[in-house]
Structure 1
Amino acid sequence: MINVGLYYRVKEGHEKEFEETFSKVVSILKNSDIGFIDAKLYKRVDDPREYLIYSEWKDLESFKKFILSRDYKETTTYGKTILEGRPYHKIFQEINT
C-alpha cells in the first residue's frame, strides 16, 4: 500500500466548491476498480484556503495509472479554474517492520 499527499491552494470563494468536488471524486474512485482505497480531506488551520488530500492506494502502479488517465486529466483541467498555483504531491510507502 502507498499513501499520497496531494497539496492544493484554492482561490478565495471556491473552498466549498473544492470540498464538494472532493466528495464526488472520492465516491467515483471508491466505485471503480483502479486500486484506490480511500482519501481524507484536511484544511490547514491557519490558512483555510490550503488543503491536503491524503489518499491510500493499493500500490504505486495503481496511482501512476490513475494520474495518466483521461479522468485525472479532466479533473486537473477543471482544477485550474479554482486553484491558485500548481498543486503538488508526495508519495509515501508503508514500511513493514
Structure 2
Amino acid sequence: MFVRIVKLTFQEDKIDAFLANFEEIKHQIRNFEGNEFLELYQDKQDARIFFTYSYWKDEDALEKYRKSALFNEVWTYTKTLFDGKPEAWSVNKLATLT
C-alpha cells in the first residue's frame, strides 16, 4: 500500500463546481479496484487550495485508475477549473500513531 497526495488549486469562482462534482464521483473513485481510502482537504489559509489523500493497494492499481474512463472523465472536467498546475506525490506510509 502507498499514499497518493494531490494538491489542486482552483479558480475562486470554480470551487463550488469542483465540490459538486467531487460529491457526485467520490464513491466511484473510492470503490475503484485497488483504492482503499479517499479524503479531501481544503487549505485553511487559501480556500482555493485542496488536497486529495488516497491509499492505493499498489502502483499498478493507481495506474489502472489513471488509465480508466472514470479518471479521464474526472480529470478532463476538473482541469478546466484549475488556477495553477496540480502537484502530486506518491509516498510510503512509515508510521501510524494512535
| Secondary structure of 1:14 counterpart | helix
TM-score (norm. length: structure 1): 0.84
In structure 1, C-alpha distance between the alignment counterparts of 2:5 and 2:94, rounded to whole Å: 17
Q: Figure out how many residues of one structure are paired with residues of the other and give that number.
A: 95
Contiguous gaps of at least 5 residues in structure 2: none
The within-5 A match list for 1:4-43 is: 4-32=4-32, 34-43=33-42
Identity among equivalent positions (%) equals: 25
| Secondary structure of 1:80 counterpart | helix
In structure 1, C-alpha distance between the alignment counterparts of 2:22 and 2:89, rounded to whole Å: 18
- Contact persistence 2:41–2:52 (CA under 8 A): yes
Which residue type is aligned with residue 72 of structure 2? K
Which residue type is aligned with residue 83 of structure 1? F
1:41 deviates by: 0.8
Contiguous gaps of at least 5 residues in structure 1: none
Alignment match, 2:76? 77
- Contact persistence 2:30–2:38 (CA under 8 A): no
Comparing both structures, which one devotes a greater share of its residues to helix? 2
Once superposed, what is the RMSD of the aligned Cα atoms?
1.7
Deviation sequence 1:60-81 (CA, Å, 0-9, x none):
1101111122221221111122
1:17 deviates by: 2.0
In structure 1, C-alpha distance between the alignment counterparts of 2:38 and 2:67, rounded to whole Å: 19
Which residue type is aligned with residue 62 of structure 1? A
1:92 aligns with 2:91: yes
In structure 1, C-alpha distance between the alignment counterparts of 2:64 and 2:40, rounded to whole Å: 22
1:54 deviates by: 0.6
TM-score (norm. length: structure 2): 0.84
